[in-house]
Amino acid sequence: MTQAKSAVVVGAQWGDEGKGKIVDVLSERFSVVARYAGGHNAGHTVIIDGHKFILQLVPCGVLRPGCRGVIGNGVVLDPMAFLKETGRLRELGIDVDSRLFVSNRAQVILPYHRMIELAAESAPGRKKIGTTSRGIGPAYEDKMARNGLRVVDLLNRSLLRTHIEAACAEKNAIAHALFGTAPLDPAQMYDEYAQAAEQIRPFVTDTALLLNQALSEGHSLMFEGAQGTLLDIDHGTYPYVTSSSASAGGASIGTGVGPTRIGTVIGVTKAYVTRVGEGPFPTELHDASADLLRARGQEYGAVTGRPRRCGWLDLPLLRYSNQINGTDWLVVTKLDVLDDFDEIPVCTAWEIDGRPCDTLPADIRGIESIRPVYTRLRGWKTSTEGIRSFSSLPQAAQDYLHFMERESGAKIGIVSTGPDRDQTFEMPNFREAMRHIAGA
Protein backbone atom coordinates (compact mmCIF):
# COMPACT_ATOMS: atom_id res chain seq x y z
CA MET A 1 0.00 0.00 0.00
CA THR A 2 1.24 3.49 -0.86
CA GLN A 3 2.11 5.52 2.22
CA ALA A 4 -0.41 8.29 2.89
CA LYS A 5 0.89 11.75 2.09
CA SER A 6 0.22 13.11 5.54
CA ALA A 7 1.88 13.64 8.90
CA VAL A 8 0.78 14.58 12.42
CA VAL A 9 2.94 17.02 14.37
CA VAL A 10 2.19 16.58 18.06
CA GLY A 11 3.62 17.88 21.32
CA ALA A 12 5.40 15.12 23.21
CA GLN A 13 5.38 16.82 26.63
CA TRP A 14 3.07 19.40 28.28
CA GLY A 15 2.88 21.71 25.28
CA ASP A 16 5.08 24.72 24.47
CA GLU A 17 7.63 22.45 22.74
CA GLY A 18 7.97 24.73 19.73
CA LYS A 19 5.42 22.99 17.49
CA GLY A 20 4.57 26.25 15.74
CA LYS A 21 8.09 26.70 14.46
CA ILE A 22 8.32 23.06 13.36
CA VAL A 23 4.96 23.14 11.57
CA ASP A 24 6.13 26.30 9.83
CA VAL A 25 9.43 24.69 8.82
CA LEU A 26 7.73 21.56 7.51
CA SER A 27 4.78 23.34 5.86
CA GLU A 28 7.03 24.33 2.95
CA ARG A 29 6.59 20.70 1.83
CA PHE A 30 2.83 20.38 2.47
CA SER A 31 -0.17 21.67 0.53
CA VAL A 32 -2.53 21.86 3.52
CA VAL A 33 -2.06 22.29 7.27
CA ALA A 34 -5.02 21.38 9.50
CA ARG A 35 -5.47 22.22 13.18
CA TYR A 36 -7.45 19.48 14.94
CA ALA A 37 -7.92 20.32 18.66
CA GLY A 38 -7.97 23.03 21.31
CA GLY A 39 -8.85 26.68 20.97
CA HIS A 40 -7.23 30.08 21.35
CA ASN A 41 -5.63 28.91 24.59
CA ALA A 42 -2.80 27.45 22.47
CA GLY A 43 -0.19 29.92 21.27
CA HIS A 44 2.25 29.02 18.51
CA THR A 45 5.15 31.42 18.02
CA VAL A 46 6.94 31.54 14.66
CA ILE A 47 9.94 33.81 14.04
CA ILE A 48 10.79 34.56 10.41
CA ASP A 49 13.79 36.80 9.69
CA GLY A 50 13.49 38.24 13.19
CA HIS A 51 9.75 39.03 12.86
CA LYS A 52 7.54 37.30 15.44
CA PHE A 53 4.14 35.83 14.56
CA ILE A 54 1.98 34.55 17.43
CA LEU A 55 -0.86 32.35 16.22
CA GLN A 56 -3.61 31.04 18.49
CA LEU A 57 -6.29 29.58 16.21
CA VAL A 58 -4.92 29.93 12.70
CA PRO A 59 -2.71 27.02 11.54
CA CYS A 60 0.93 27.94 11.03
CA GLY A 61 0.81 26.83 7.41
CA VAL A 62 -0.78 30.12 6.32
CA LEU A 63 2.60 31.78 6.80
CA ARG A 64 3.78 29.85 3.73
CA PRO A 65 2.54 31.21 0.38
CA GLY A 66 0.43 28.61 -1.42
CA CYS A 67 -0.27 26.52 1.68
CA ARG A 68 -3.90 26.26 2.77
CA GLY A 69 -4.88 26.33 6.46
CA VAL A 70 -7.82 24.48 7.97
CA ILE A 71 -9.44 24.85 11.40
CA GLY A 72 -10.98 21.42 11.94
CA ASN A 73 -14.15 20.27 13.64
CA GLY A 74 -12.25 19.29 16.80
CA VAL A 75 -11.32 22.91 17.51
CA VAL A 76 -13.49 25.23 19.64
CA LEU A 77 -13.70 28.58 17.87
CA ASP A 78 -14.01 31.93 19.61
CA PRO A 79 -15.41 34.15 16.82
CA MET A 80 -13.98 37.37 18.26
CA ALA A 81 -10.52 35.86 18.77
CA PHE A 82 -10.62 34.47 15.22
CA LEU A 83 -11.53 37.81 13.67
CA LYS A 84 -8.89 39.63 15.70
CA GLU A 85 -6.21 37.14 14.66
CA THR A 86 -7.12 37.12 10.97
CA GLY A 87 -7.27 40.91 11.00
CA ARG A 88 -3.78 41.11 12.44
CA LEU A 89 -2.46 38.65 9.84
CA ARG A 90 -3.99 40.72 7.02
CA GLU A 91 -2.18 43.80 8.37
CA LEU A 92 1.06 41.80 8.18
CA GLY A 93 0.43 40.96 4.55
CA ILE A 94 -0.66 37.33 5.05
CA ASP A 95 -3.34 36.11 2.63
CA VAL A 96 -5.94 34.51 4.91
CA ASP A 97 -9.05 35.22 2.85
CA SER A 98 -8.32 32.75 0.05
CA ARG A 99 -6.26 30.18 1.97
CA LEU A 100 -7.97 29.72 5.35
CA PHE A 101 -11.00 27.49 5.97
CA VAL A 102 -13.13 26.84 9.08
CA SER A 103 -15.10 23.66 9.72
CA ASN A 104 -18.85 24.10 9.74
CA ARG A 105 -18.90 21.47 12.52
CA ALA A 106 -16.48 23.24 14.90
CA GLN A 107 -17.97 24.26 18.24
CA VAL A 108 -18.32 27.96 19.11
CA ILE A 109 -17.11 29.63 22.31
CA LEU A 110 -19.52 32.28 23.61
CA PRO A 111 -19.09 34.79 26.46
CA TYR A 112 -20.92 32.63 29.00
CA HIS A 113 -18.27 29.92 28.55
CA ARG A 114 -15.61 32.39 29.67
CA MET A 115 -17.82 33.62 32.51
CA ILE A 116 -18.32 30.10 33.87
CA GLU A 117 -14.66 29.09 33.56
CA LEU A 118 -13.27 32.25 35.12
CA ALA A 119 -15.71 32.08 38.01
CA ALA A 120 -15.05 28.39 38.64
CA GLU A 121 -11.27 28.78 38.49
CA SER A 122 -11.38 31.75 40.88
CA ALA A 123 -13.93 30.37 43.35
CA PRO A 124 -12.71 29.86 46.93
CA GLY A 125 -12.11 26.23 47.81
CA ARG A 126 -12.15 25.03 44.20
CA LYS A 127 -9.19 22.99 42.92
CA LYS A 128 -7.32 25.11 40.41
CA ILE A 129 -6.41 23.39 37.14
CA GLY A 130 -4.44 26.36 35.80
CA THR A 131 -6.65 27.10 32.80
CA THR A 132 -6.37 30.22 30.64
CA SER A 133 -10.01 31.09 31.52
CA ARG A 134 -10.86 31.53 27.84
CA GLY A 135 -13.92 29.30 27.92
CA ILE A 136 -12.30 26.23 26.35
CA GLY A 137 -13.40 23.68 28.95
CA PRO A 138 -17.03 24.84 29.25
CA ALA A 139 -17.35 24.90 25.45
CA TYR A 140 -16.22 21.27 25.28
CA GLU A 141 -18.58 20.45 28.16
CA ASP A 142 -21.50 21.83 26.14
CA LYS A 143 -20.29 19.87 23.10
CA MET A 144 -20.33 16.58 25.00
CA ALA A 145 -23.67 17.46 26.60
CA ARG A 146 -25.00 17.93 23.05
CA ASN A 147 -25.96 21.43 24.00
CA GLY A 148 -23.33 23.42 22.10
CA LEU A 149 -23.50 25.83 19.20
CA ARG A 150 -21.60 24.85 16.05
CA VAL A 151 -20.25 27.19 13.40
CA VAL A 152 -22.99 26.13 10.98
CA ASP A 153 -25.53 27.18 13.63
CA LEU A 154 -23.75 30.48 14.21
CA LEU A 155 -24.62 31.39 10.62
CA ASN A 156 -28.36 30.79 11.20
CA ARG A 157 -29.68 34.00 12.78
CA SER A 158 -32.95 32.54 14.03
CA LEU A 159 -31.24 29.55 15.62
CA LEU A 160 -28.47 31.77 17.03
CA ARG A 161 -30.96 34.06 18.78
CA THR A 162 -32.90 31.13 20.27
CA HIS A 163 -29.72 29.41 21.42
CA ILE A 164 -28.23 32.51 23.07
CA GLU A 165 -31.48 33.35 24.89
CA ALA A 166 -31.86 29.81 26.26
CA ALA A 167 -28.18 29.43 27.12
CA CYS A 168 -27.97 32.80 28.90
CA ALA A 169 -31.04 32.02 30.99
CA GLU A 170 -29.39 28.79 32.15
CA LYS A 171 -25.78 29.98 32.48
CA ASN A 172 -26.66 33.27 34.18
CA ALA A 173 -28.69 31.39 36.80
CA ILE A 174 -25.88 28.88 37.40
CA ALA A 175 -23.15 31.51 37.61
CA HIS A 176 -25.17 33.71 39.94
CA ALA A 177 -26.17 30.83 42.25
CA LEU A 178 -22.70 29.29 42.46
CA PHE A 179 -20.36 32.26 42.14
CA GLY A 180 -22.43 35.45 42.49
CA THR A 181 -21.51 36.50 38.95
CA ALA A 182 -23.34 39.37 37.24
CA PRO A 183 -25.59 38.22 34.37
CA LEU A 184 -24.75 38.56 30.67
CA ASP A 185 -27.13 40.42 28.31
CA PRO A 186 -28.43 37.97 25.64
CA ALA A 187 -29.67 40.75 23.32
CA GLN A 188 -26.28 42.44 23.23
CA MET A 189 -24.57 39.07 22.77
CA TYR A 190 -26.82 38.21 19.84
CA ASP A 191 -26.15 41.52 18.09
CA GLU A 192 -22.38 41.15 18.45
CA TYR A 193 -22.21 37.51 17.36
CA ALA A 194 -24.68 37.84 14.48
CA GLN A 195 -22.44 40.55 13.09
CA ALA A 196 -19.31 38.45 13.68
CA ALA A 197 -20.95 35.48 11.95
CA GLU A 198 -21.23 37.41 8.68
CA GLN A 199 -17.50 38.16 8.76
CA ILE A 200 -16.74 34.49 9.43
CA ARG A 201 -19.16 33.12 6.82
CA PRO A 202 -16.72 33.29 3.84
CA PHE A 203 -14.25 31.00 5.67
CA VAL A 204 -16.78 28.27 6.51
CA THR A 205 -16.96 24.98 4.63
CA ASP A 206 -17.13 21.22 5.08
CA THR A 207 -13.44 20.82 5.90
CA ALA A 208 -13.62 17.03 6.23
CA LEU A 209 -14.66 16.92 2.58
CA LEU A 210 -11.96 19.45 1.66
CA LEU A 211 -9.20 17.47 3.39
CA ASN A 212 -10.21 14.07 2.05
CA GLN A 213 -10.50 15.46 -1.46
CA ALA A 214 -7.07 17.04 -1.14
CA LEU A 215 -5.54 13.68 -0.21
CA SER A 216 -7.42 11.89 -2.98
CA GLU A 217 -6.06 14.42 -5.48
CA GLY A 218 -2.49 13.69 -4.35
CA HIS A 219 -1.94 16.75 -2.19
CA SER A 220 0.02 16.44 1.05
CA LEU A 221 -1.54 17.20 4.43
CA MET A 222 -0.05 18.03 7.82
CA PHE A 223 -2.08 17.86 11.02
CA GLU A 224 -1.08 20.53 13.55
CA GLY A 225 -1.48 19.58 17.19
CA ALA A 226 -2.13 21.94 20.07
CA GLN A 227 -0.92 21.64 23.68
CA GLY A 228 0.87 18.32 24.31
CA THR A 229 0.35 14.61 24.91
CA LEU A 230 0.57 14.91 28.70
CA LEU A 231 -2.34 17.38 28.53
CA ASP A 232 -4.55 14.99 26.55
CA ILE A 233 -7.98 14.58 28.18
CA ASP A 234 -7.65 10.77 28.21
CA HIS A 235 -3.93 10.07 28.32
CA GLY A 236 -2.53 13.07 30.19
CA THR A 237 -1.95 13.83 33.87
CA TYR A 238 -5.67 13.98 34.63
CA PRO A 239 -7.29 16.15 35.97
CA TYR A 240 -4.53 18.64 35.16
CA VAL A 241 -5.16 18.39 31.45
CA THR A 242 -6.85 20.23 28.61
CA SER A 243 -10.37 19.43 27.41
CA SER A 244 -9.56 17.87 24.04
CA SER A 245 -7.66 14.99 22.44
CA ALA A 246 -4.22 16.58 22.14
CA SER A 247 -2.43 13.35 21.21
CA ALA A 248 -1.96 12.10 17.65
CA GLY A 249 -5.22 10.12 17.65
CA GLY A 250 -7.12 13.40 17.91
CA ALA A 251 -6.02 14.25 14.36
CA SER A 252 -8.48 11.79 12.86
CA ILE A 253 -11.37 12.67 15.20
CA GLY A 254 -10.75 16.41 14.94
CA THR A 255 -10.66 16.61 11.13
CA GLY A 256 -12.73 13.75 9.71
CA VAL A 257 -9.74 12.16 7.98
CA GLY A 258 -9.64 8.41 8.61
CA PRO A 259 -6.72 6.94 10.59
CA THR A 260 -5.55 4.82 7.65
CA ARG A 261 -4.86 8.06 5.76
CA ILE A 262 -2.30 9.27 8.31
CA GLY A 263 1.23 8.52 7.10
CA THR A 264 3.53 9.31 10.01
CA VAL A 265 3.66 10.87 13.49
CA ILE A 266 6.25 13.48 14.41
CA GLY A 267 6.63 14.21 18.13
CA VAL A 268 8.13 17.54 19.23
CA THR A 269 10.12 17.55 22.46
CA LYS A 270 12.31 20.13 24.09
CA ALA A 271 15.84 19.10 25.08
CA TYR A 272 14.53 19.61 28.62
CA VAL A 273 10.92 19.86 29.94
CA THR A 274 8.56 22.71 30.81
CA ARG A 275 5.02 22.94 32.08
CA VAL A 276 2.54 25.82 32.51
CA GLY A 277 -0.15 25.76 35.16
CA GLU A 278 -0.86 23.26 37.90
CA GLY A 279 -0.18 19.53 38.00
CA PRO A 280 2.59 17.00 38.70
CA PHE A 281 6.02 17.41 37.14
CA PRO A 282 8.51 14.71 38.25
CA THR A 283 11.73 16.43 37.07
CA GLU A 284 10.76 20.00 38.00
CA LEU A 285 13.61 22.17 39.31
CA HIS A 286 13.38 24.85 41.99
CA ASP A 287 16.95 26.14 41.93
CA ALA A 288 19.34 28.23 39.87
CA SER A 289 19.24 25.66 37.05
CA ALA A 290 15.51 26.34 36.61
CA ASP A 291 16.17 30.07 36.51
CA LEU A 292 18.88 29.58 33.88
CA LEU A 293 16.67 27.35 31.71
CA ARG A 294 13.81 29.85 31.96
CA ALA A 295 16.03 32.82 31.14
CA ARG A 296 17.89 31.20 28.26
CA GLY A 297 14.78 29.53 26.84
CA GLN A 298 12.53 32.60 27.27
CA GLU A 299 10.08 30.27 28.99
CA TYR A 300 6.99 32.42 29.21
CA GLY A 301 3.59 31.49 27.71
CA ALA A 302 2.92 32.85 24.21
CA VAL A 303 -0.75 33.41 25.09
CA THR A 304 -0.70 34.06 28.85
CA GLY A 305 2.81 35.36 29.49
CA ARG A 306 2.96 33.07 32.53
CA PRO A 307 6.44 31.85 33.51
CA ARG A 308 6.83 28.16 32.71
CA ARG A 309 7.98 25.61 35.23
CA CYS A 310 11.27 24.04 34.10
CA GLY A 311 12.97 20.68 34.62
CA TRP A 312 15.39 18.18 33.15
CA LEU A 313 14.51 15.89 30.27
CA ASP A 314 12.27 13.02 31.40
CA LEU A 315 12.86 9.98 29.18
CA PRO A 316 10.22 7.68 30.78
CA LEU A 317 7.70 10.44 30.10
CA LEU A 318 8.92 10.68 26.51
CA ARG A 319 8.69 6.91 26.04
CA TYR A 320 5.11 7.01 27.33
CA SER A 321 4.29 9.82 24.88
CA ASN A 322 5.87 7.91 22.00
CA GLN A 323 3.78 4.87 22.89
CA ILE A 324 0.48 6.81 23.01
CA ASN A 325 1.17 8.62 19.75
CA GLY A 326 2.90 5.86 17.81
CA THR A 327 5.71 8.37 17.24
CA ASP A 328 7.96 7.65 14.28
CA TRP A 329 10.16 10.74 14.45
CA LEU A 330 11.27 13.14 17.16
CA VAL A 331 12.01 16.82 16.75
CA VAL A 332 14.31 18.17 19.46
CA THR A 333 13.92 21.89 20.09
CA LYS A 334 15.90 24.39 22.17
CA LEU A 335 19.10 22.35 22.26
CA ASP A 336 21.00 25.65 22.49
CA VAL A 337 19.34 26.45 25.84
CA LEU A 338 21.59 23.80 27.43
CA ASP A 339 24.81 25.43 26.19
CA ASP A 340 25.85 26.87 29.58
CA PHE A 341 25.67 23.70 31.69
CA ASP A 342 28.79 21.81 32.77
CA GLU A 343 26.69 18.73 33.42
CA ILE A 344 23.19 17.85 32.23
CA PRO A 345 21.14 15.40 34.31
CA VAL A 346 18.63 13.31 32.35
CA CYS A 347 15.89 11.27 34.01
CA THR A 348 16.26 7.71 32.70
CA ALA A 349 13.97 5.83 35.13
CA TRP A 350 11.24 6.33 37.74
CA GLU A 351 10.84 4.93 41.22
CA ILE A 352 7.78 4.93 43.49
CA ASP A 353 8.37 4.02 47.13
CA GLY A 354 11.82 2.72 46.20
CA ARG A 355 10.53 0.33 43.54
CA PRO A 356 11.02 0.74 39.78
CA CYS A 357 8.01 2.11 37.88
CA ASP A 358 8.00 1.52 34.14
CA THR A 359 4.76 3.24 33.13
CA LEU A 360 2.91 6.46 33.93
CA PRO A 361 0.46 5.83 36.80
CA ALA A 362 -3.17 6.54 35.94
CA ASP A 363 -3.92 8.28 39.26
CA ILE A 364 -2.60 11.68 40.17
CA ARG A 365 -1.30 10.50 43.54
CA GLY A 366 0.80 7.90 41.79
CA ILE A 367 2.30 10.48 39.45
CA GLU A 368 3.04 12.81 42.37
CA SER A 369 4.89 9.92 44.08
CA ILE A 370 7.36 9.45 41.21
CA ARG A 371 11.00 9.96 42.09
CA PRO A 372 13.25 10.43 39.05
CA VAL A 373 16.49 8.47 38.64
CA TYR A 374 19.11 10.54 36.83
CA THR A 375 21.99 9.82 34.51
CA ARG A 376 24.41 12.72 34.30
CA LEU A 377 25.75 13.62 30.89
CA ARG A 378 28.65 15.89 30.04
CA GLY A 379 27.75 19.42 28.95
CA TRP A 380 29.40 21.11 25.99
CA LYS A 381 29.91 24.66 27.34
CA THR A 382 29.98 26.25 23.91
CA SER A 383 27.36 27.92 21.76
CA THR A 384 25.25 25.75 19.48
CA GLU A 385 22.90 28.58 18.53
CA GLY A 386 22.18 28.63 14.82
CA ILE A 387 24.19 25.50 13.98
CA ARG A 388 22.76 23.99 10.80
CA SER A 389 24.19 20.44 10.72
CA PHE A 390 24.62 17.53 13.13
CA SER A 391 28.34 17.17 12.36
CA SER A 392 28.95 20.82 13.35
CA LEU A 393 27.64 20.26 16.87
CA PRO A 394 30.14 19.77 19.71
CA GLN A 395 30.72 16.08 20.44
CA ALA A 396 28.95 16.27 23.81
CA ALA A 397 25.84 17.72 22.14
CA GLN A 398 25.93 14.91 19.56
CA ASP A 399 26.23 12.42 22.41
CA TYR A 400 23.23 13.99 24.16
CA LEU A 401 21.08 13.58 21.04
CA HIS A 402 22.27 10.03 20.45
CA PHE A 403 21.37 9.23 24.06
CA MET A 404 17.90 10.74 23.63
CA GLU A 405 17.30 8.73 20.48
CA ARG A 406 18.53 5.45 21.92
CA GLU A 407 16.61 5.77 25.20
CA SER A 408 13.33 7.15 23.78
CA GLY A 409 12.84 4.53 21.06
CA ALA A 410 12.09 7.06 18.28
CA LYS A 411 14.41 8.42 15.60
CA ILE A 412 15.49 12.06 15.76
CA GLY A 413 14.56 13.80 12.53
CA ILE A 414 14.99 17.53 13.21
CA VAL A 415 17.02 19.57 15.69
CA SER A 416 16.30 23.23 16.46
CA THR A 417 19.17 25.42 17.67
CA GLY A 418 17.39 28.75 17.98
CA PRO A 419 14.00 30.45 17.64
CA ASP A 420 14.23 31.55 14.00
CA ARG A 421 12.85 29.47 11.13
CA ASP A 422 16.36 29.03 9.69
CA GLN A 423 17.98 27.90 12.95
CA THR A 424 17.05 24.29 12.25
CA PHE A 425 18.59 21.24 10.62
CA GLU A 426 17.26 17.89 9.45
CA MET A 427 18.86 14.47 9.67
CA PRO A 428 19.44 12.86 6.25
CA ASN A 429 17.15 9.87 6.90
CA PHE A 430 14.32 12.19 7.92
CA ARG A 431 14.75 14.25 4.78
CA GLU A 432 14.43 11.09 2.71
CA ALA A 433 11.32 10.02 4.62
CA MET A 434 9.70 13.40 4.00
CA ARG A 435 10.31 13.00 0.27
CA HIS A 436 8.18 9.84 0.36
CA ILE A 437 5.45 11.40 2.55
CA ALA A 438 5.18 14.93 1.18
CA GLY A 439 6.78 14.49 -2.19
CA ALA A 440 9.32 17.24 -1.45
The H-or-E segment that residue 411 falls in is strand 411-416
Is 163 in the active site?
no
Distance CA 360, CA 381 (A): 33
User: Could you tell me which of 135, 133, 134, 129 has the C-alpha nearest to residue 113?
Assistant: 135
Which entry of 16, 78, 142, 420 is annotated as an active-site residue? 16
Establish whether 78 is a catalytic residue: no
Burial 316-337 (b: 16+ CB within 10 A, else e): bbbbbbbebbbbbbbbbbbbbb
**Dihedral over Cα of 28, 31, 36, 39: its sign:** positive
Q: From CA 303, how far away is CA 300, in angstroms rounded?
A: 9
Largest CA distance in the chain: 66
Whole-angstrom Cα distance, residue 47 to residue 422? 9
**The one catalytic residue among 24, 40, 44, 232:** 44
Angle value at C-alpha 332, between 286 and 311, nearest 5 degrees: 10
Residue of 61, 59, 81 whose CA lies nearest to 71: 59
DSSP string, 3-30: PPSEEEEEESSSS-SSHHHHHHHHGGG-
Q: Which residues are catalytic?
A: 16, 44
